[in-house]
Amino acid sequence: MIITLQAAAAKLRAADKILVTSHINPDGDAIGSALAMLQILREMGKTVQVYIDDKIPQNFSVMPFEEEIRRPREDETFDADLLVVLDTAPDRIGEVGRLTDAPILNIDHHVTNKGDNLDLYVDADAAATCEIIFRLAHELGAEITMNIAVCLYTGIATDTGFFNYSNTKAGTFRAAAELVELGVEPNLISEQMEKRTVHDVKVMTAALQTARLFYGGKVAGMFIDEELSRRVDTTEGLVDLIRVIDSVDVAFLLTFKEENVCRVSMRSKGVEVSDIARRLGGGGHIRAAGCTLNKSFDESRRIIIRAIGEFMIERGYLRPVEYEDRAEISLADFNGDE
Tell me the per-residue pLDDT of 57-102, one tens digit each, with 9 for 90 and over.
888 988 999 999 999 998 899 999 999 999 999 988 999 999 999 9
The pLDDT-based confidence of 336 (bands split at 50, 70, 90) is low
Q: Assess if CATH 3.40.50.720 describes domain 198-333.
A: no
Supply the pLDDT for residue 242.
95
Q: Assess if CATH 3.10.20.30 describes domain 5-193.
A: no
Tell me the sheet residues that pair with 251.
220, 267
Q: What is the pTM of this model?
A: 0.86
Domain boundaries, the chain: 5-193, 198-333
User: Quick check: do 5-193 and 198-333 share a fold?
Assistant: no
Contacts of 120 (CB under 8 A, 6+ apart): 1, 2, 3, 106, 107, 108, 113, 114
DSSP 122-157: E-TTSS-HHHHHHHHHHHHT----HHHHHHHHHHHH
Tell me the per-residue pLDDT of 159-187, one tens digit each, with 9 for 90 and over.
998 998 888 999 999 999 999 999 999 99
Tell me the per-residue pLDDT of 185-211, one tens digit each, with 9 for 90 and over.
999 999 998 888 898 899 889 999 999
Q: Give the mean pLDDT of the chain.
A: 93
